[in-house]
Amino acid sequence: MSTSDHPDITLDSLGDWRADRGCGTLRSEDIGRELTVIGWVDTRRDHGGIVFIDVRDRTGILQVVFDPDDDAESHRRAHGLRSEYVIAVRGKLAKRPPETLNTELPTGEVEVRVAEMKVLSTARVLPFPLDDEGDAGEAVRLKHRYLDLRRARLQRNLVARHRATKAVRDYLDDQGFVDIETPILTRSTPEGARDYLVPSRVNPGSVYALPQSPQIFKQILMVSGYERYYQIVRCFRDEDLRADRQPEFTQIDIEMSFVGTEEILGLTEGLLRAGAAAIGAPVPEVPFPRMTYEEATRRFGTDRPDTRFGLELVELSDLMENAQARVLAQAVQEGGIVGGVVAEDGHKFSRRELDETVAWAQSIGAKGLAWIRSTDDGWQSPLAKFFDEGEREKIEARTGLRKGGVLFLVAGPRKYAQGILGQLRLRLAEMLDLIPENQWNYLWVTDFPLLEYSQEAKRLVSVHHPFTAPREQDLERLESEPETVLADAYDVVLNGTELGGGSIRIHRPDVQSRVFAALGIEEGEMREQFGFLLDALSFGAPPHGGIALGLDRLCMLWLGESSIRDVIAFPKTQKAHDPMSDAPSPPAPKQLRDLGLKFTQ
């Protein structure tokens, strides 16, 4: 829509007009003031003789009134105003007539009687409505993100994120931390997710890597004598995405010298309390509960358990070792386990829902999922024929299976079986509506393994990262029994979502070299990839440790959003694409020539 569609509308310059206050900040105590307000036309109501316009800016909405008795020219032009035009009005703030009071609006007692108006900009018809109840798809909203960001919910989210970020900075400043920037263009190192690479024009054939985190640099800052460092930093990972992941994300990065685990956990709890209070989320009680990695995976099938509901896992391996059900017995005999989870209200599941649950389990990688329903007539299950009465009684005693319940079973290697059951536990809780709302269960998970064997890589890999310190009492087993070594590592979890993690770091070059060797990194590669770190550690490195928290994910949870994209100003899609700017895009041929690159596909 252009001004030619409305002959009465002419575009004005702002000139010396300046808004005295934000639209949403005016109250009854301001009545009688002559003032200027500037913003977008939110809605227009033409009541014949009088035109009412709701003007909106970031602070809220204010009603302005165009009455021919106040200013005939402004009233005449007001008939041509449309949604999202940008206007400036001058007038006196007045009390609304009693019949027009709006108690649901902070400014609902007042209105501006317009004496003069400027139209600063017109707007085409929008591709979707800006009300929060609109059903516009995410694709169109991200393409027109500049419009999406005008919506009240997203504006509230980004302002709340700002407040949380400020609270974090203030808290860490009060604790004696120094904010230090680390490089964005750095070198690629093994371990972790895939790097985003940046070719170098001035160093042909070489690349930078965008940092997955400032891990090595913040450790070097400890060697450099900056005993308390923090940074709210952009990080980059080229990994498969989901609702709570982005290719670029923001991290609250913290490192401290001369501390142990207890000091870091206590500091982090205080930081989370400050951030939650600033954003308007419930402030957690401290200290947070703690659970070891072994207990978390045994009871909940994951190292980030949601403890708001039960449905805990049960192991039945000793009861299944000689079972007639061959698939169960064989799994135990081969060193695996048989694990289960009981849905007490499983009688609510139809046979179709049970079959769909089995199919779902297979879709996430399960080789099989067995179920046993307990009814007044006994067990209903394809497995029922393999168990006699005594065996059934033992299984029921172990699992708590009662009439009306359903026991789900998974057999296989421990990590695999626990992982499937952990995901199944969440699915059952959603199906049975067992997850309470407005409950905030924070949890520390501790005592992680230092290393684990990766079937994909066919070697040991770090559970956290290769700079994590092994527990001192386990160090002697690093070469002989590496998978039994525990780490001085910890993760903080909220309602089943990992908020962040950290560890005490390796500060001795000999220990760091031993960990690299356990990971299969040979001496030459060790020096090539990490020589500068090993050298730094050899010049008097202090004991140190830290933690990194995902700011985006924290804000998402604190604000009750289901997608991390709703707390980021300009996010990417789940395919790492920006529909608004259409990034990434093919490079120009000259750019490739300058970099000495050629695309093969």
- pLDDT higher at 552 or 131: 552
Q: Rounded mean pLDDT of the chain?
A: 93
Would you say 232 and 250 are in contact if contact means Cβ atoms under 8 Å apart? yes
pLDDT band at 215; cut points 50, 70, 90: very high
pLDDT band at 264; cut points 50, 70, 90: very high
Q: Which of 123-132, 292-301, 417-426, 433-442 has the lowest mean pLDDT?
A: 123-132
Q: What confidence tens digit (pLDDT) does each residue in 113-123 have? A: 999 999 999 99
pLDDT band at 486; cut points 50, 70, 90: very high
106 contacts: CB under 8 Å, gap ≥ 6 = 24, 27, 60
Selection from 512, 472, 508, 464 nearest residue 490 by Cα? 464
pLDDT band at 47; cut points 50, 70, 90: confident
Q: How far is CA 479 from each of CA 450, 503, 525, 529, 530, rounded to the nearest angstrom?
A: 12, 21, 19, 22, 20
- Find out whether the peptide bond into 287 is cis, omega within 30 degrees of 0: yes
Q: Which of 35-39, 161-165, 243-247, 258-262 has the lowest mean pLDDT?
A: 243-247
What pLDDT does 10 receive?
78
Would you say 425 and 296 are in contact if contact means Cβ atoms under 8 Å apart? no
Q: What confidence tens digit (pLDDT) does each residue in 437-479 have? A: 889 999 999 999 999 998 888 899 999 999 999 999 999 999 9
4-25 mean pLDDT: 83
Would you say 94 and 133 are in contact if contact means Cβ atoms under 8 Å apart? no
- pTM for the complete prediction? 0.92
Which of 16-25, 46-55, 254-263 tops mean pLDDT?
254-263
79-108 mean pLDDT: 94
Structure tokens at 469: 């310190």
What pLDDT does 3 receive?
62
Q: CA dihedral in degrees (339, 345, 348, 351; nearest 10)? A: 20
What pLDDT does 5 receive?
66
What pLDDT does 300 receive?
98
What pLDDT does 100 receive?
87
- Structural domains in the chain, CATH included, are 3-121 (2.40.50.140), 154-292+442-568 (3.30.930.10), 309-431 (3.30.1360.30)
Helix-helix angle 293-300:414-431, to 10 degrees: 60
- Cα–Cα–Cα angle for 53, 55, 60, rounded to 5 degrees: 135
What pLDDT does 131 receive?
83
What pLDDT does 119 receive?
95
Selection from 503, 520, 303, 334 nearest residue 411 by Cα? 334
- Kindly tell me the sign of the dihedral angle through the C-alpha atoms of 124, 126, 132, 133: positive
What pLDDT does 346 receive?
84
